[in-house]
Amino acid sequence: MNKKLKIGVSACVVGQKVRYDKGHKKLYFCTDELSEFAEFKPVCPEVGIGLPIPRPTIRQVSHGDVIKVSRPDGSGDVTEQLTKFGQDFADQQCHDLAGFIVCAKSPSCGMERVKVYHHHGKGSESNGVGLFTQQIMKRNPLLPVEENGRLNDPIIRENFVTRVFTYQKWLDLKSEGITKHKLIAFHSAHKYLVMSHHVESYKSLGKLLARSDMDLDTQANEYIFGLMTALKHHASRKTHTNTLQHLQGYFKKQLDSDKRQELAQEITSFRQGVTPLLVPLALINHYLREHPNEYLATQTYLNPHPKELRLRYGY
């Protein structure tokens, strides 16, 4: 992929000093690593609705079943403004985005576990979603969304970036024009990636594309929903091992007994937690260069994202 990804981001996460205290929440993974492959579209919804920098803090406050965003004393209610800003941004600015990175714990941008205070002032619960991010996710359910803080976890980071690069490929396919042949080719290239995340989806997506009683648009929409849902499941040593063993089967006739045993041993060592995922993957890629296989060469699983991002060290 030559062109850069387009990723939405809370402006403070890329170092813009837009927070209530004139601070930022820079995530160096974004600015120093992912920026080589991504073009960011920064937004601060609080500034977007006209709040100043610096500004009084705002919080989510529950009034029965209704959650409002205002200053701690209840003044300066911006619930409607933030919701409308989120709806407009989601509808007008997200069509070409491959992902979105938001600021954790923010009453406007938090993805989960945002503090919601009781209106009577006694206590809070961390079960809210930022009003802006809520609209982004609601109106763009396929879009990969993640928080800056969670991206410090190597497994979550790799999962998010895998979803982003996969969704970008889908956006590219849509822009070209989806045909039945292209849809099947897309699925074929992502089969083992799906298997490494969720075996049940691997099976159900294959059955979906085998159906002849659906029109192409419906089939494509159901397919991409199923694919992006499957990839939300975090790959594990168990699911990776299963996938590696399937790939191993393609080399049974090409490799001599010593090489077959070496590959089997590296997969076992990975399953046991002795060696990282990169070891059996490197061996499979090496054997693939020695014994070219057109089908395996198309598999996204072997290279789901640029190696420069060093994302598979968490396994």
pLDDT (tens digit per residue) in 80-120: 999 999 999 999 999 999 999 999 999 999 999 999 999 88
Residue type, 199: V
How far is residue 49's CA from residue 12's CA, in Å, rounded to a whole number?
A: 16
Taking residue 249's Cβ as centre, other Cβ atoms within 10 Å add up to: 8
Is residue 197 domain-resident? yes
Interval 221-233 mean pLDDT: 98
Taking residue 281's Cβ as centre, other Cβ atoms within 10 Å add up to: 21
Retrieve residue 24's tokens: 């930022």
Q: How many domains are there within the chain?
A: 2
Q: Which range of residues forms the domain containing residue 85? A: 5-53+78-112+128-151
* In a shared domain, residues 157 and 143: no
Retrieve residue 67's tokens: 């959650």
Is residue 71 domain-resident? no
Q: What is the pLDDT of residues 267-304, one digit of tens each?
A: 999 999 999 999 999 999 999 999 999 999 999 999 99
**Position 2 confidence tier, pLDDT thresholds 50, 70, 90:** low
Is residue 61 domain-resident? no
Is residue 15 domain-resident? yes
Residue 132 is part of a domain; what is its CATH number? 3.40.50
Is residue 62 domain-resident? no
How far is residue 239's CA from residue 159's CA, in Å, rounded to a whole number?
A: 14
Lowest mean pLDDT among 9-13, 242-246, 251-255, 262-266: 251-255
pTM for the model: 0.95
